[in-house]
Amino acid sequence: MRVAFYAPLKPPDHPVPSGDRRMAGLLMQALRQAGHEVALAARLRSRDPAGDPERQARLHALGDRLAARLARRYRAAPAAARPDAWFTYHLYYKAPDWIGPAVARALAIPYLVAEASHAPKRAGGPWHASHAATEAALRQAAAVIGLNPRDSACLRPLVPADRLYLMKPFLDPAPYRAAHAARAGHRAEIAAAHALPLDTPWLLAAAMMRAGDKLASYRLLARALGTIEERPWHLLILGDGPARAEVAAAFAGFGDRAVFAGAQPPDRLAAFCAAADLMVWPAINEAYGMALLEAQASGLPVIAGDSGGVSAIVAEGVTGRVVPAGDAAAFAGAVAALLDAPDALAAMGTAALDKTAREHGLAGAADFLDGVLRRAVAEKAA
């Protein structure tokens, strides 16, 4: 089948790397692996971060024009070239879909959504228009696929139970397993490049550097590690962004124990994860954290804060530790305990490698999405 794909928050080919962009690309990859033709239908970024009604009105108008143009183009195409379904990734009140629902109605094709959230408290507020558009899109959807289990409660009043699906975040485990197999070489290369001792545990943090929750997570990590400085460790920090100066200031007191390695492409991220000993990320208000999944796919255990869908990715006591969100003392205690138990740390790494391949692989996601898509198309045809 042919699928028109759209990610209103950030298109999968956006130049700035992020977990959101990564998952959009993976969804397209999984649909293609299932045998479907997937085309990026639009690149309009509909995000309104500030709650500006005028901006929402402008984006709405632009979305309407784009939807009308797409509908005309699809209708003019041969029937064999028209999409059989529309698939939107990541829908919420700050980034609504002004395009997909209208195109799906015009073509009489099913409208599907992956990773959506609904915030009833936004009705009547500064994001009212975007909130209303998101709510209408969810009511129209033939399928709503959740990646974060905690979103389900607010979705149930809008989406019938037989249209609401839950799937686990996923990735292609092959390159991460390959990086794990080459751990010794990656560790030696990274040690030489960043003057890191090979006989000291390496902690790893990987996230964009921007104001808000990411910066808050970095600052909490610095506070937590500051209480266990007597233990041997070095921290590798991967990432960049507009808040880099603030992040650097948070770790300034650690000297050369905190190493800034910059933003890394996916293949290099796998190498860093394979070379490290423990990923540490407070995950304040994290949806689920693609970097946490990528770390475990590389055989790297994780300590993370219990927010969003993190606990659905990190198995407490098995592939890492999940501690109360925002609790620096609990976070520090979990890091210290695992640094003091290298055998447990190694066992968690092995378990992480196995669990990710078994429960979060691309093949399983492709089968799942194929089933949801085929059911939606068949029901629409009926």
Q: What is the pLDDT of residues 298-349, one digit of tens each?
A: 999 999 999 988 998 999 999 999 999 999 999 999 999 999 999 999 999 9
For position 119, what pLDDT does the model report? 86
Tell how strand 111-116 and strand 320-324 pair up: unpaired
The 3-state DSSP class for residue 18 equals coil
Do residues 276 and 325 touch, judged by C-beta distance below 8 A?
no
The burial of 358, by beta-carbon neighbours within 10 Å (0-12 exposed, 13-18 middle, 19 or more buried), is given as exposed
Asked whether the predicted pLDDT for residue 140 surpasses 80, the reply is yes
Same domain for 272 and 333: yes
Cα torsion 163, 165, 171, 173: sign: negative
Average pLDDT over residues 347-353: 97
- Could you give phi then psi for residue 276, rounded to 5 degrees? -80, 175
17: pLDDT strictly greater than 80: no
Looking up residue 33, the CATH number of its domain turns out to be: 3.40.50.2000
Q: What is the pLDDT of residue 20?
A: 86
Check residue 362 and give its pLDDT: 96
Residues 102 and 203 in one domain: no
Average pLDDT, the chain: 95
At residue 288, the pLDDT reads 84
What is the pLDDT, as a whole number, of residue 316?
96
Residue 187, pLDDT above cutoff 80? yes
Residues 83 and 182 in one domain: no
> Which structure tokens are listed for 357?
């391949």
User: Which token pair is 154?
Assistant: 């607010």
Could you identify the residue written with the tokens 């492409």? 265
Report how many domains make up the chain: 2
Q: Whose CA is closest to 172, among 352, 377, 339, 357?
A: 357
Residues 339 and 196 in one domain: yes
DSSP three-state, residue 165: strand
Claim to verify: residue 91 and residue 183 sit in the same structural domain: no
pTM of the full predicted structure? Answer: 0.90
**Positive or negative CA dihedral for 158, 159, 161, 164?**
negative
Residues 238 and 109 occupy one common structural domain: no
Answer yes or no: is pLDDT of 98 > 90.
yes
- State what percent of residues in the chain have pLDDT above 90: 91
Tell me: do 273 and 294 sit in the same domain: yes
Domain that residue 318 falls in: 174-359
Q: What are the start-end ranges of the H helices in the chain?
A: 19-33, 53-76, 100-107, 128-140, 152-155, 174-181, 183-194, 213-226, 244-250, 266-275, 290-297, 310-313, 328-339, 342-359, 362-381
Asked whether residue 234 falls in the same domain as residue 121, the answer is no
Residue 320 sits in the same domain as residue 376? no
* Residue 266, pLDDT score: 81
226 & 149 share domain:
no
Compute the average pLDDT of residues 160-177.
95
> pLDDT grade, residue 287 (50/70/90)?
confident
Do 132 and 29 share a domain, yes or no? yes
The residue-averaged pLDDT of 28-46 equals 97
Give the separation between CA 305 and CA 275, rounded to whole angstroms.
Answer: 23
* Mean pLDDT across 265-274: 92
Q: Are residues 156 and 180 in the same domain?
A: no
Closest to 246 (Cα-Cα) out of 208, 278, 284: 208
pLDDT score at 376? 98
